[in-house]
């Protein structure tokens, strides 16, 4: 195998090696002559050497470019071309660099740089795509203004900033705000717009557009409303105003990620912006609102203040995720948002932090930066900001953030800059807190308690398991929000934030008439794993009485997990007390339906596998699957009498609206329908499928029917109805696999890869199929190894076209050490097969190597 490895190991980049670029970039002018297979890009860049620069070499990044000509101050030059760019002798005073290159957007299947999607030109430059457009110092600390001229027959031609002039076959744009190259964008094609406008807090009118392919105009209204809400929210909550005359959003079908915050020209995966009641589910609507907000908020946290280098990625991503979560909490239900985020964190970030891919929120080394757009950087990065806010309080948080904007506007910054504004605004020393940025791994927090003479003592011990390259960890600052309940369920001590700084630390509560029941880590005040010996009776008590909705849900979740673990390990029957508690809650109309839906949703099978592994057992995916089935069947039977009424009570009628209340109700209704389907053989689901006038209800009904193996006709009808809609077809592909039995999931997925609508060229379609396979816990981990094999084959095929999406999908194997020796051997074979593939990309090589280590 080894002989197929690249001759030279990929280069590793280190944070400690940072040196600034030796030249100032004063202005950039670009001219694009568009042609699908041979686009010409002319650049004219004013450089000025920085006196006394540590690194005076004039090196410009460049990849996959054909250099046509280059000149310095008008005189032709012959630069030295290297693998990743060029060097050139240049004057020791300001000079003008000019170059012309040719690139091939049509042949660009990696979707980085300038590429074509459905006949439309578009760009993706984060993190290092600009170097595939022209020679340039492609690093985020090099910021400049850009003027862009686009020549081509496409009716719509867009770039960053404001439009300055246009004529037949050309358009010019000027972005007055200095920006790094990763925020550059260009779009050209046959597009139609959904226009609107927004008046900013200082009275400036901004033109807004969402640009889409003809035919998609009807799917823009929701995104536009989300954009206007985001603009207003950022003014109200953070005092941030938009700073150009125009804000454009473009929907693109072929896109590696969700969306991109290019200055004034956000580019979106069409799945993250297009929405209509007929084609999008409630979950789609909520996600679209959040992503539009996220990209818009980047205008200040990312664009006006950017990152000095890619090690600082969490500076913009953690903060922007934190801000978009605040926005969603304000627009919808704060507790529901928090619970959903914690479910997501545990599903995606905890496994990363506990496995071979663990890395700090601010990594100190990488080979391919694209591999670090992770749940740790984004979601744990946001958790760290949440902890900081909780420690300093809302007012000081606002002061510090205002100082951040005042002090660093227009700069490329570091985590040190970010922490310093908090230190300066609050007088706190954050050196220990900084460990959250430098130490990988999820801390375990062991809790013990003591009660004597009216005094209640909680003792916490923190420890973090070793992670790659970090065998030993120091104690972190952990904000632990705690409340206490009396024996009758009343709160006897309101939420207090305990600030833990030691490895082991006790906190006391005085004047208590009886031993209280603690509600620990309210609102999930820190991303840790709480370990506490407690009883199911106490969990049920918290589920009934806690004033903190997050911990109420958490108690129910713990009950569910314990019940499932007992079923798997001991063959126990579903826990009767828990079933009772669920029934009560389901019928309790005083509780928010969205909250009830969350309590009713069981822990994922992968979550149970992780729990078993942490407790020293080897998880058996089939047994976990069977326990989930038995539990749902028992619950359905116990609720048999009330299910039809519950279903009727939660059915939302009238015109569809994606608001939080209606979607919460539909979510609960869908879960009730899935229970009902277990009893009525799918009659109600078939009726719902017939009557549905929106995708949420149509999809929920189809899901139930397919799971019950009663949905062939509906699945066929769904296909015929929606085969012309790529986004709905992604749902159809994914659902075939998600609803398959464990022993058939891989063969269903294999058949789908032969389907005429399957293509490796569209990342959404690839993710629909391979993501659904990897997400089917018992199917992917079926003892035959067929799931592992199919994924590996497809990763090898995709790597030749699109390394970035391939590498991301490799993470499906990151939990492999949880499983038994046979499964581990099967997975190792596949990982080694991928690693040994000739010409494997740097992206995938890095991922597979880290997973195998």
Member of 43, 160, 230, 256 binding ligand 0A1 (CB under 6 A):
256
Distance CA 423, CA 400 (A): 8
Angle, helices 695-707 vs 683-691, to 10°: value is: 150
The smaller minimum CB distance to ligand 0A1, of residues 183 and 728, is found at: 183
| Cα distance between residue 758 and residue 169, in whole Å | 36
Please count the other Cβ atoms lying within 10 Å of the Cβ belonging to residue 545: 17
Contact 24/141 with Cβ under 8 angstroms?
no
Characterise 169 by phi-psi region: left (phi > 0), alpha (psi -120 to 50), beta (else): left
366 binds, among ligand 0A1, Zn ion, none (CB under 5 to 8 A by kind): none
Selection from ligand 0A1, Zn ion, none that 260 binds (CB < 5 to 8 A by kind) is: ligand 0A1
CB 778 within 8 A of CB 742: yes
Residue number with CB closer to Zn ion (312 or 320)? 320
352 binds, among ligand 0A1, Zn ion, none (CB under 5 to 8 A by kind): none
Shortest reach from residue 140's CB to ligand 0A1, in Å: 11
- Map the footprint of ligand 0A1 across residues 398-457, applying CB under 6 A: none
What is the residue-wise DSSP string for 722-783? Answer: HTT-HHHHHHHHHHHHHTS-TTTHHHHHHHHHTSTT--TT-HHHHIIIIIHHHH-HHHHT-T
261 near ligand 0A1, rule: CB under 6 A: yes
Element (H, E) at 157: strand 156-159
Q: Are the C-beta atoms of 139 and 126 separated by less than 8 Å?
A: no
Crossing angle for the helix pair 842-852 and 821-835, to the nearest 10 degrees: 150
- Residues between 299 and 338 with contacts to Zn ion, criterion CB under 5 A: 317, 320
| Residue in 28, 15, 368, 20 with CA at minimum distance from that of residue 179 | 28
772 binds ligand 0A1 (CB under 6 A): no
Q: Interface with ligand 0A1 by CB under 6 A: which range of 122-130, 154-162, 351-359, 485-493?
A: 122-130
Residue 98 interacting with ligand 0A1 (CB under 6 A): no
Interacting positions 308-327 with ligand 0A1 (CB under 6 A): 317
CB of 313 to ligand 0A1, least distance (A): 9
| Cβ proximity to ligand 0A1, 284 vs 370, nearer residue | 370
DSSP element (H, E) containing 545 = helix 536-545
Torsional sign, CA 524, 529, 531, 536 = positive
Nearest-angstrom CA–CA distance, 529 and 442? 7
Among 32, 184, 310, 373, binds ligand 0A1 (CB under 6 A): 373
Least distance in Å: CB of 737 to ligand 0A1? Answer: 26
**234 near ligand 0A1, rule: CB under 6 A:** no
Residue 124 interacting partner from ligand 0A1, Zn ion, none (CB closer than 5 to 8 Å by kind): ligand 0A1
In angstroms, the CA 258 to CA 269 distance is 5
Residue 127 to residue 106: CA distance in whole angstroms: 21
> Considering the rule CB under 6 A, would residue 260 count as an interface residue with ligand 0A1?
yes
Residue 563 near ligand 0A1 by CB under 6 A: no
Site string for ligand 0A1, 785-804 (x = CB under 6 A): -------------------x
- The neighbouring-strand residues paired with 797 are none
Q: Which stretch binds ligand 0A1 (CB under 6 A): 258-266, 356-364, 402-410, 683-691?
A: 258-266
Among Zn ion, ligand 0A1, none, partner that 259 touches (CB below 5 to 8 angstroms by kind): ligand 0A1
How buried is 610 (Cβ within 10 angstroms: 0-12 exposed, 13-18 middle, 19+ buried)?
buried
Residues in contact with ligand 0A1, counted by CB under 6 A, come to a total of 15
Structure tokens at 271: 């799945």
Residue 58 interacts, among Zn ion, ligand 0A1, none and using kind-specific CB cut-offs from 5 to 8 Å, with none
Nearer of residues 259 and 440 to ligand 0A1, judged by Cβ: 259
Q: What does 636 bind: Zn ion, ligand 0A1, none (CB cut-off 5 to 8 Å by kind)?
A: none
**Distance (Å) of CA 660 to CA 132, 203, 282, 666, 816:** 42, 31, 9, 10, 37
Q: For residues 467 and 358, is the Cβ–Cβ distance under 8 A?
A: yes
Omega before residue 168 within 30° of 0, cis: no
Separation CA 329–CA 323 (nearest Å): 10
> What minimum distance in Å lies between the beta carbon of 269 and ligand 0A1?
9
Give which of ligand 0A1, Zn ion, none residue 126 binds (C-beta under 5 to 8 Å, depending on kind): ligand 0A1
Sole binder of ligand 0A1 in the list 126, 234, 368, 554 (CB under 6 A): 126
Least distance to ligand 0A1 from the beta carbon of 306, Å?
A: 11
In whole angstroms, how close is the CB of 307 to ligand 0A1 at the nearest point? 11
Cβ closest to ligand 0A1, residue 206 vs residue 252 = 252
Tokens of residue 797, six digits: 């095929």
Judged by beta carbon, residue 129 or residue 360, the one nearer ligand 0A1 is 129
Query: Which residue do the tokens 């290159």 mark?
Result: 101
Q: Which stretch binds ligand 0A1 (CB under 6 A): 21-29, 120-128, 339-347, 492-500?
A: 120-128
β-partners of residue 484 are 493, 518
Classify strands 265-269 and 246-252 as parallel, antiparallel or unpaired: parallel
**Which of 43, 108, 117, 124: binder of ligand 0A1 (CB under 6 A)?**
124
Nearest Cα to 378, choosing from 255, 267, 269, 257?
Answer: 257
Question: Which residues, at least 6 apart from 520, have a Cβ–Cβ distance to it below 8 Å?
Answer: 447, 458, 480, 482, 530, 532, 551
User: Is residue 370 part of the contact set for ligand 0A1 (CB under 6 A)?
Assistant: yes
Q: Report, in Å, the least distance between residue 299 CB and ligand 0A1.
A: 12
Residues that bind Zn ion (rule: CB under 5 A) add up to a total of: 2
CB of 294 to Zn ion, least distance (A): 5
Residues 269-308, mask of contacts with ligand 0A1 (x by CB under 6 A): -------------------------xx-------------
Strand positions, DSSP E, 395-509: 412-413, 444-452, 455-463, 478-485, 491-500, 504-509
Among ligand 0A1, Zn ion, none, what binds residue 20 when CB lies within 5 to 8 Å by partner kind? none
Parallel, antiparallel, or unpaired for β 80-82 and 504-509? unpaired
| Residue nearest ligand 0A1 by beta-carbon distance | 257
Which of the ranges 71-79, 218-226, 251-259, 726-734 carries the binding residues for ligand 0A1, by CB under 6 A?
251-259
What, of Zn ion, ligand 0A1, none, does residue 151 touch, CB below 5 to 8 Å by kind? none
Cβ proximity to Zn ion, 317 vs 575, nearer residue: 317
- Judged by beta carbon distances under 5 to 8 A according to partner kind, the member of ligand 0A1, Zn ion, none in contact with residue 127 is ligand 0A1
257 binds, among ligand 0A1, Zn ion, none (CB under 5 to 8 A by kind): ligand 0A1
CB of 291 to ligand 0A1, least distance (A): 7
Among 90, 127, 208, 851, binds ligand 0A1 (CB under 6 A): 127
Residue 513, helix vs strand vs coil: coil
List the Cα angle 509/511/512 in 5-degree steps.
80
Active site (catalytic) residues? 295
**Could you tell me the smallest distance in angstroms from the CB atom of residue 320 to Zn ion?**
5
* Helices and strands, number each (H, E), in the chain: 30, 31
Residues that bind Zn ion (CB under 5 A): 317, 320
Residues that bind ligand 0A1 (CB under 6 A): 124, 126-127, 256-261, 294-295, 317, 370, 373, 804
């Amino acid at each position: 195998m080894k002989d197929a490895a690249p001759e030279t190991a990929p280069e590793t980049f280190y944070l400690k090696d940072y040196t600034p670029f030796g030249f100032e970039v004063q202005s950039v002018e670009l001219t694009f002559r568009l042609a699908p297979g041979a686009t010409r890009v002319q650049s004219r860049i004013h450089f000025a050497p920085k006196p006394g620069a540590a690194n005076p070499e004039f090196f410009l990044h460049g990849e996959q470019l054909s250099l046509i000509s280059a000149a310095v101050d008008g005189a032709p030059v012959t630069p030295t071309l290297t693998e990743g760019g060029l060097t050139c002798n240049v004057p020791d005073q300001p000079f003008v660099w000019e170059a012309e290159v040719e690139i091939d957007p049509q042949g660009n299947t990696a979707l980085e740089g300038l590429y074509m999607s459905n006949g439309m030109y578009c760009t993706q430059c984060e993190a290092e795509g600009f170097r595939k457009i022209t020679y340039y110092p492609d690093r985020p600390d090099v910021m400049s203004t850009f003027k862009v001229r686009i020549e081509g027959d496409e009716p719509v031609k867009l770039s960053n900033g404001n439009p300055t002039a246009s004529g037949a076959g050309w358009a010019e744009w000027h972005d007055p705000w200095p920006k790094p190259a990763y925020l550059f964008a260009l779009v050209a094609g046959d597009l139609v717009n959904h226009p609107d406008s927004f008046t900013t807090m200082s009275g400036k009118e901004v033109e807004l557009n969402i640009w889409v392919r003809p035919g998609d105009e009807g799917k823009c209204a929701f995104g536009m409303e989300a954009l206007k809400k985001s603009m207003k929210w950022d003014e109200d909550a953070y005092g941030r105003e938009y700073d150009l005359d125009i804000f454009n959003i473009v929907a693109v079908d072929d896109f590696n990620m969700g969306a991109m915050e290019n200055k004034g020209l956000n580019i979106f995966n069409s799945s993250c912006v297009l929405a209509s009641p007929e084609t999008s589910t409630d979950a789609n609507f909520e996600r679209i609102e959040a992503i539009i907000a996220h990209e818009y908020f980047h205008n200040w946290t990312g664009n006006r203040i950017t990152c000095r280098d890619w090690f600082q990625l969490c500076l913009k991503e953690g903060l922007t995720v934190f801000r978009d979560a605040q926005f969603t909490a304000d627009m919808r239900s704060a507790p529901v948002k928090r619970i959903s985020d914690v479910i997501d964190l545990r599903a995606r970030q905890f496994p990363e932090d506990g496995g071979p891919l663990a890395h700090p929120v601010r990594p100190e080394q990488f080979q391919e930066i694209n591999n670090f757009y992770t749940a740790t950087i984004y979601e744990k990065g946001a958790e760290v900001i949440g902890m900081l806010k909780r420690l300093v309080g809302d007012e000081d948080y606002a002061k510090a953030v205002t100082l951040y904007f005042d002090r660093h506007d227009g700069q490329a910054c570091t985590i040190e800059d970010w922490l310093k504004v908090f230190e300066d605004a609050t007088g706190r020393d954050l050196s220990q807190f900084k460990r959250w940025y430098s130490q990988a791994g999820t801390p375990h927090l062991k809790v013990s308690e003591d009660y004597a003479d009216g005094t209640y003592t909680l003792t916490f011990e923190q420890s973090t398991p070793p992670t790659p390259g970090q065998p030993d960890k120091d104690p972190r600052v952990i904000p632990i929000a705690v409340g206490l309940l009396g024996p009758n369920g009343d709160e006897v001590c309101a939420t207090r934030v305990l600030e833990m700084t030691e490895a082991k630390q006790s906190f006391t509560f005085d004047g208590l008439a009886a031993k209280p029941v603690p509600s620990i880590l309210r609102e999930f005040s820190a991303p840790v794993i709480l370990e506490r010996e407690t009883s199911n009776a106490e969990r049920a008590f918290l589920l009934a009485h806690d004033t903190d909705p997050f911990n109420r849900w958490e108690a129910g979740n713990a009950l569910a997990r314990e019940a499932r673990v007992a079923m798997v390990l001991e063959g126990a029957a579903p826990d009767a007390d828990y079933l009772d508690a669920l029934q009560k809650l389901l019928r309790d109309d005083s509780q928010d339906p969205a909250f009830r839906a969350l309590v009713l949703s069981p822990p994922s099978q992968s979550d149970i596998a992780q729990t078993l592994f942490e407790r020293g057992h080897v998880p058996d995916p089939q047994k976990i699957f069977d326990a989930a089935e038995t539990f749902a069947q028992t619950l359905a039977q116990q609720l048999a009498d009330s299910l039809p009424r519950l279903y009727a009570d939660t059915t939302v009628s009238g015109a569809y609206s994606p608001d939080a209340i209606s979607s919460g109700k539909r979510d609960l209704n869908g879960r009730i329908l899935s229970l009902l389907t277990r009893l009525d053989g799918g009659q109600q689901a078939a009726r719902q499928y017939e009557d549905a006038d929106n995708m949420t209800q149509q999809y929920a009904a189809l899901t139930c029917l397919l799971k019950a193996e009663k949905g062939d006709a509906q699945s066929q009808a769904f296909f015929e109805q929606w085969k012309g809609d790529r986004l709905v077809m992604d749902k159809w592909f994914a659902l075939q696999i998600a609803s398959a039995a464990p022993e058939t999931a891989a063969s269903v997925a294999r058949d789908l890869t032969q389907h005429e609508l399957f293509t490796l060229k569209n990342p959404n379609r690839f993710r629909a199929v391979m993501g659904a396979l990897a997400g089917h816990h018992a199917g992917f981990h079926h003892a035959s190894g067929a799931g592992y094999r199919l994924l590996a084959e497809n990763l090898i095929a995709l790597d030749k076209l699109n390394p970035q999406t391939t590498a991301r999908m490799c993470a499906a194997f990151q939990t492999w050490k949880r499983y038994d020796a046979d499964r581990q051997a099967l997975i190792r074979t596949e990982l080694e097969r991928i690693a040994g593939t000739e010409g494997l990309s740097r992206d995938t090589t890095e991922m597979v190597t880290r997973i195998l280590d």
